[in-house]
Structure 1
Amino acid sequence: MGVKGLQNFMQRCCPEACVTVDLRKMASQHVARNTTSAHSTGPTLVVDGMACLCHWYTCENWVCGGQWREYMDVLKSWVEAFNSIGIRLVFFFDGVVEEQKRQEWVKRRHRVNGQISKIFRHIKEHGEQPGRELFCLPSGLAAFTSFALRSLGQEVFCSVQEADYEIASYARQHCCMGILGQDSDFIIYDSAPYLSVEKLRINSFTTVLYDRQRFCRAIGLAVPQLPLLACLLGNDVVSKEQMQHIRNNAMATYRKNNPAPQLGAPQAQMVLAVSQYVSSLWGGEEEETGHILQCMNLSAPHRELLKRGICSYLLPGQEDLQRGDISARPSAIALKKYVSPEILKACREKHVAAEGSMVYPVVFEGVVQCSNTLEDEQDTELLPQALVFKSCRQRIYGLLLDHDGSTVDTPAIREWFVFPGNPLKEPHMVHPVPVNLPCGRPNLDLLWFGTGSDVSALRLTSFLTILDCQDFTELYGSIEVSLLAVLCLVTYIVLQVQAVSQEDVDAYLSQAVCLSMKSPQELQYIKLPFLSSRAVQLGSLYVRGLSHLLGANCASGYPLPNTALMPWHSFDGQLFQSKYLLAHSGTETTVLLDSDSSRLSLFLHLREKLIETCRKRGRVLQSRPTPIAPEQSHKSTSVPGYRGRHAGWTSGGCEGWRTRGEVRGEHQHRGGWRERGEERTDRSENDNRERLWDRGHRGGGQHFHPSTYPEHHSGGLHNMNRPPGQSRGRSYRSRGRYQLAPRWSQPPAPGT
């Protein structure tokens, strides 16, 4: 949300209102002014988390899915810098999209889709990441950042209304030192001082303060008149087009009274013209806004729209107009009957504390949205993430809204998911699907509030059933929890996307297994010979999948610690891209696992479980190596470890692609999901080679057959993960070296 052009006007035409400040001095002055205040909690900055994301994510690689461990280090340093000067931070993130702003949200999503198309075109043409002019945040960055900040001991809130409104309300209510963000609406709100994150220099703790009092003096208005000015200029509630006639009349009057205006820019003239018009409407500062609106030449619908826009800026204690109750939407009221009052209360608390995922918008709003993802609209074989994870969401909805064991009359959930080909003219209506267990349908109150070993086992079974991975129950406690989540996610993707190959699975699993051995610095300096656009989409698909795992985990009553589902424990974009190139070049499995025997043993075990589960469901994983773009390889240096069929990725090693007649860049498509609709059918490919299970054995040395593991001797790691009362299963005797770590009792240190 923001007033188009207002901040630029301040910087160009009202420089006296843009003041460079030292945050340390501001903090000292704030403490001195508030020493006698009963509500004083020390200097506090309320941080608009959404506005800060592009400033926090300074990692060089952004297109491969995210450099999550490196990003965690950046966040930790940023937080520690403010703590070192005694400034407390409180973070807010967007939790909903208000329906009155849906069309503006859609417009922005379409703009980003156009940018994403350019990103993939650049990768295909140049084999490298585009410059920052096409920068796009990694998928899921906002959601995972809130968890990251909480793990760093910070106070984090997720909004149930417009986030800007909640930020301004919190800052005013708690007498905060300032609001750190990048949105001109913070000039309009009569709240704490607005500080620019874009102008922030963390080394010197200086930034620019946009002073609303000085701004008002410069344009001849009072602070209470700013909301009307904002709406007439155009914002996310009142579009510029809807108030065009008011601005035209104001501009005509302004030019008549100022034949030689000092400020020549049309936008500057417009702000001054509308300011003079707003000033002329007030007979006195005490005049009510409602009376002013009645005096304006507006139709009834436009008057009501303007009233709603003004109300959006009025904070608690400031209202001279009635602010609507956003929680009283018909869809929200209709869905509340499907859950108990205790669930409603817990659901809202989890959401506000940024601990829940997906449950609040389902139960309270009946609507779920997901922003843009790095997806190639030209790749017709890889399904968009919105379609890949649809069945997972349906089961989450079914679990949340299964009232008295029935979802027959449950209303459909309105989904606003951005993906290629979706015009976003209206939401997709998605019906809940019940979660059926051998013991019947799980009760949500029991899952969330029940105790005992049986309930713990029920939570885990519910979570695994949502992902169609019930077979992995016996693995709980025998492998690291984050790797269990990886296995569930990759298995789900394989079951949903027929185009995913053996090589893709090897890339997913090998990078997850090897990640724990890499420091953030090692990951940062991985050198890639070039990028695969297909791997870029697969990386984003995986990270979006982690968001769905969080939703399934929350709905099931948290059988797994949310910490284990964070991307910095299972994914690194550059590492995945490197493993993808290795796997698709035919590199030996031992090399894929960095020649580490224990990691190879674990990798083979996970892959065996995945293949076995998929086979039971009729999904036979095929080997289908994707040709690598030979024209790009001569630009890159040799990368140690790339010793497959095309050692060193040299131009000479790429000649084989040409002689085999394979296309440049990506594999040939034979008709995709758009032509077939959402559902895909499995089909055989005569040109696929069956990949040998023990490819990694050709290099000689010790053999690691996937079904052979050392015995679990006494004195080894104890099973601390299994829910009480759950049987160990047949695999207990064969855990041995692939058991890595017990379930975390508390979040581990960042980067671990």
Structure 2
Amino acid sequence: MGVKGLQSFMERCCPDTCVTVDLREMARQHVAQTPANTSSPTLVVDGMACLCHWYRCQDWICGGQWREYMDLLKSWVEAFISAGIRLVFFFDGVVEEQKRKEWAKRRRRVNGEISKVFRHLKGHGEQPGRALFVLPSGTASFTRFALRSLGQEVFCSVREADYEIARYALQHNCMGILGQDSDFIIYDSAPYLSVAKLRIDTLTTVLYDRQRLCQTIGLAIHQLPLLACLLGNDVVSEEKMMNIRNNAMATYRMNKPSPHSGANQGQVVLAVSHLVSSVWDREEEEAGLLSLNLSAPLTELLQRGMSSYILPGQEALQWGDFSTASSAAVFEKHVSAEILKACREKHVAAEGFMVYSIVCEGVIECSNTLEDEEDTELLPQAFVLKACRQRIYGLVLLHGHDGSNVNLPAMKEWFVYPGNPLQEPDMVHPVPISLTGDQPSLDLLWFGTGPEVSALRLNSFLSIFDCQQLSDLHGEVEDSLLAALCLITYIALQVNTLSQEDVDAYLSQAVCVRLKSTQELQHIKLPVLCSRAVQLGSLYIRGLGHLLGANCACGCPLPSAALMPWNSFDGRLFHSKYLLAHGGAEKTVLLESDSSCLNLFLRLREKLTETCRNRGRVLQSRPKPPEQSHKTTPGPRYRERHSGGPSESDENWRQRGENTGGWREREEMRGRRSGYGNREWQRGGHRGGMRGGQHFHPHPESYPNFQDGGHRNTSHRSYQSRGGSYSSRGRYQLAPRWSQPHGPGT
């Protein structure tokens, strides 16, 4: 992020530009210098840069310890409040197209790190060290709501968040910007303070002083944008300006035969600084870009990159007008002016979720999820949750239509999943929800009143997840439990390999987490970690995000608090329930000998089973012990339950695994039976069953009904009837017929 090598240059080659500051004293001085200002000194916080510093919970791999995370956020905020410092938080609300390549590059890099996480997990049965730390899925999305619930002012950007942060700090005379992005050195705005160097107990950190930097490298502040672009940033890639830097280095070394004491990167910064100074016209006060001998496209790119640092009220010199101010909404003709206005307001205030991206951007993104690219059984969350996204799109865009018009708009989806190189978006068409009569309009759902509208909101919400039968539970069970049941039912309908044990783990977690204190959740002991449970935990959190998007689209039939993970989910608790359920624990043990919890669990389980059965889905028992390769010794229950184990050689057992494989083989077989032919699940023709003994299968004699790797689910529809297809780009196109109505995109 930011300007390549600039911050490390300041730290290593000119440490006097990095000043340790006391934020309390800085706040007092800020007040003294602005006596007319009656408000508290304000610190603008780059929320995205702070996430990995905020999330310090011991467990991160199981899906997140959300209640503990909330407590940590609260303590962090209170430290500033006690010092009389007001906080204003900004989060990325969009990914600008000029930065899409950089976004995709980072997502691919994180995917590589996630692969290492799963290799460690499957090899050791435990969470890897902090060096492989990956934020729990959904952290960025839910943190915005967490801070709002703590009474903080939170904004979601409609363009590059760095720009909006710098603009806000300048316009409101803020005492500083707290983040971790060297772009804040380039903006002529408030002082840039490091969150990485922050000590919350003493409220001290490091200030990167742009004035001292300019004195050191011999530039003026208004020349910094050209320096940033020549060094490389998110707009102008490092590779694009490589020749310019090489030439600058050659000239610098020829004129400065004695090498600079700093590292090579330090010499690069100094060399490029000398180049900027040499091409800057002292009289005209503008950059002579023509002297750089760049092609027209590169010159325009350079001008665009420089202009991205110019804030309102600051002179942009003669670089051209490259304003990226928000333009007309992409799908504004599909909604009313009132909806469009409310959409923007909710988005900016971090109150809405997903709808603004649909209407105004026509683009939906989802970052990395903890998913094992070598898993042969579980669908990626992008495809498990695709059907409900299509219905959300339909609810927002198709009111008054039946979905049969071929000219209806398609959404661009940038979802990270195994095998997707992120070279171009998936085009996903909206699908109407299944309600009697016409599609309800957003105006009615958002602004209508009366009990009939309230019922319509709830029915629309449940229809998005194909769970209309759950409406009779509204008001009888807690809203968070109704939401959990809706999500678990939807996952069970979408994922054919989801077993009864998986459902029991999900449901028992949802029932029990309400009664747990933060301390109890922190002290849950896990004898071993299972990669499949890790993926199911991340899938659930991603599902909560989709519940939130659907709830916003439907006019909020459920309070947002009911959809927040700190009120409904704990990864460590879920993992413990998963191990118990797959270890054959009795239901009384699973529900911790609490009769009221057990009764509630059984009621929800019966409702889920009935809903699934009505859609042709019959859950099967398929207990799965932890992976065979774990070095951790399983507990007594696992030793007793799975003492048989495979007796064949590794090679024979691998062949056995290939015969029983995961979802890819099963769907491939269904495809051949229904005339679709072979399906490759990933680019490059990657197929396969359980590889190299990564997954432990119980000995067939241990479970009389556990043949060929699991129960045969005869209720599964043939793949032809499910409308599945596989495009030339290698995307998964898998969704059960009962959850994906006919129409565009099926």
Aligned to 1:350: 346
Aligned to 2:357: 361
Q: Which amino acid in the other structure matches residue 185 of structure 1?
A: D
Partners of 1:170 and 1:337 in 2: CA distance? 31
Structure 1 residue 316 and structure 2 residue 312: aligned? yes
CA-CA distance at 1:283 after TM superposition: 2.8
Aligned to 2:303: 307
Structure 1 residue 31 and structure 2 residue 24: aligned? no
Q: Relative to structure 1, is the Cα distance of residues 672 and 308 closer, same or farther in structure 2, using a 3 angstrom cutoff?
A: farther
Q: Which amino acid in the other structure matches residue 7 of structure 1?
A: Q
After the TM superposition, which residues 241-256 of structure 1 pair with which residues of structure 2 at under 5 Å, given as runs?
A: 241-256=239-254
Aligned to 1:463: 461
Q: Which amino acid in the other structure matches residue 491 of structure 2?
A: I
TM-score normalised per structure 1? 0.86
CA-CA distance at 1:541 after TM superposition: 0.2
Q: Relative to structure 1, is the Cα distance of residues 76 and 668 closer, same or farther in structure 2, using a 3 angstrom cutoff?
A: farther
1:163 to 123, 146, 161: 161
CA-CA distance at 1:333 after TM superposition: 4.9
Aligned to 1:397: 393
1:115 to 113, 116, 124: 113
Q: How many aligned positions are there?
A: 674
Q: What is the DSSP-based 3-state SS (H/G/I as helix, E as strand, rest coil) of the residue aligned with 2:241?
A: helix
CA-CA distance at 1:282 after TM superposition: 1.9
Structure 1 residue 420 and structure 2 residue 418: aligned? yes
Aligned to 1:534: 532
Aligned to 1:178: 176
Partners of 1:400 and 1:334 in 2: CA distance? 13
Q: What is the DSSP-based 3-state SS (H/G/I as helix, E as strand, rest coil) of the residue aligned with 1:209?
A: strand
After the TM superposition, which residues 53-202 of structure 1 pair with which residues of structure 2 at under 5 Å, given as runs?
A: 53-202=51-200
After the TM superposition, which residues 218-617 of structure 1 pair with which residues of structure 2 at under 5 Å, given as runs?
A: 218-284=216-282, 287-289=285-287, 292-320=288-316, 321-326=319-324, 333-407=329-403, 408=405, 409-617=407-615
Deviations 1:405-447 (A, max 9, x none): 3542221101000000111111000001112311321111111
TM-score normalised per structure 2? 0.87
Deviations 1:494-516 (A, max 9, x none): 00000100000000000110001
Deviations 1:544-572 (A, max 9, x none): 00000011001111111111000111111
Partners of 2:248 and 2:415 in 1: CA distance? 40
Percent identity between the aligned chains? 69
Residues 123 and 130, structure 1, Cα contact 8 Å, conserved in 2: yes
Partners of 2:150 and 2:600 in 1: CA distance? 30
Aligned to 2:687: none
Q: What is the DSSP-based 3-state SS (H/G/I as helix, E as strand, rest coil) of the residue aligned with 2:331?
A: helix
Deviations 1:506-529 (A, max 9, x none): 000001100012111111111100
CA-CA distance at 1:241 after TM superposition: 1.4
Aligned to 2:698: none
Partners of 2:399 and 2:669 in 1: CA distance? 29
Q: What is the DSSP-based 3-state SS (H/G/I as helix, E as strand, rest coil) of the residue aligned with 2:644?
A: helix
Q: Which amino acid in the other structure matches residue 344 of structure 1?
A: L
Partners of 1:116 and 1:386 in 2: CA distance? 16
Q: Relative to structure 1, is the Cα distance of residues 75 and 449 closer, same or farther in structure 2, using a 3 angstrom cutoff?
A: same
Q: Relative to structure 1, is the Cα distance of residues 619 and 508 closer, same or farther in structure 2, using a 3 angstrom cutoff?
A: same
Q: Relative to structure 1, is the Cα distance of residues 126 and 668 closer, same or farther in structure 2, using a 3 angstrom cutoff?
A: farther
Residues 57 and 69, structure 2, Cα contact 8 Å, conserved in 1: yes
Residues 57 and 68, structure 2, Cα contact 8 Å, conserved in 1: yes
Residues 498 and 680, structure 1, Cα contact 8 Å, conserved in 2: no
Partners of 1:669 and 1:548 in 2: CA distance? 35
CA-CA distance at 1:631 after TM superposition: 6.2
Q: Which amino acid in the other structure matches residue 73 of structure 1?
A: D
Aligned to 2:9: 9
Residues 497 and 663, structure 2, Cα contact 8 Å, conserved in 1: no
Q: What is the DSSP-based 3-state SS (H/G/I as helix, E as strand, rest coil) of the residue aligned with 2:643?
A: helix
CA-CA distance at 1:36 after TM superposition: 2.0
Residues 168 and 179, structure 1, Cα contact 8 Å, conserved in 2: yes
Q: Which amino acid in the other structure matches residue 128 of structure 1?
A: E
After the TM superposition, which residues 622-661 of structure 1 pair with which residues of structure 2 at under 5 Å, given as runs?
A: 622-629=620-627, 632=630, 635=633, 646-647=636-637, 649=638, 654-658=642-646
Residues 381 and 669, structure 1, Cα contact 8 Å, conserved in 2: no
Q: Which amino acid in the other structure matches residue 468 of structure 1?
A: D
Q: In terms of mean alpha carbon deviation, does 56-65 or 394-403 score higher? A: 394-403
Structure 2 residues without counterparts, runs of 5 or longer: 675-704, 714-746
1:670 to 635, 656, 660: 660
Q: What is the DSSP-based 3-state SS (H/G/I as helix, E as strand, rest coil) of the residue aligned with 1:655?
A: coil
Deviations 1:650-670 (A, max 9, x none): x57652335699979x98773
Residues 17 and 212, structure 1, Cα contact 8 Å, conserved in 2: yes
Deviations 1:252-284 (A, max 9, x none): 110111011223522111100000010112232
Q: What is the DSSP-based 3-state SS (H/G/I as helix, E as strand, rest coil) of the residue aligned with 1:20?
A: strand
Partners of 1:508 and 1:271 in 2: CA distance? 53
Residues 335 and 364, structure 1, Cα contact 8 Å, conserved in 2: yes
Partners of 1:675 and 1:366 in 2: CA distance? 35
Q: Relative to structure 1, is the Cα distance of residues 660 and 529 closer, same or farther in structure 2, using a 3 angstrom cutoff?
A: farther
Q: In terms of mean alpha carbon deviation, does 677-686 or 452-461 score higher? A: 677-686
Structure 1 residues without counterparts, runs of 5 or longer: 639-645, 692-752
Partners of 2:418 and 2:277 in 1: CA distance? 47
Q: What is the DSSP-based 3-state SS (H/G/I as helix, E as strand, rest coil) of the residue aligned with 1:509?
A: helix
Partners of 1:680 and 1:672 in 2: CA distance? 13
Q: In terms of mean alpha carbon deviation, does 419-428 or 435-444 score higher? A: 435-444
Q: Which amino acid in the other structure matches residue 345 of structure 1?
A: K
Residues 124 and 631, structure 2, Cα contact 8 Å, conserved in 1: no
Partners of 1:435 and 1:535 in 2: CA distance? 31
Residues 583 and 641, structure 2, Cα contact 8 Å, conserved in 1: no
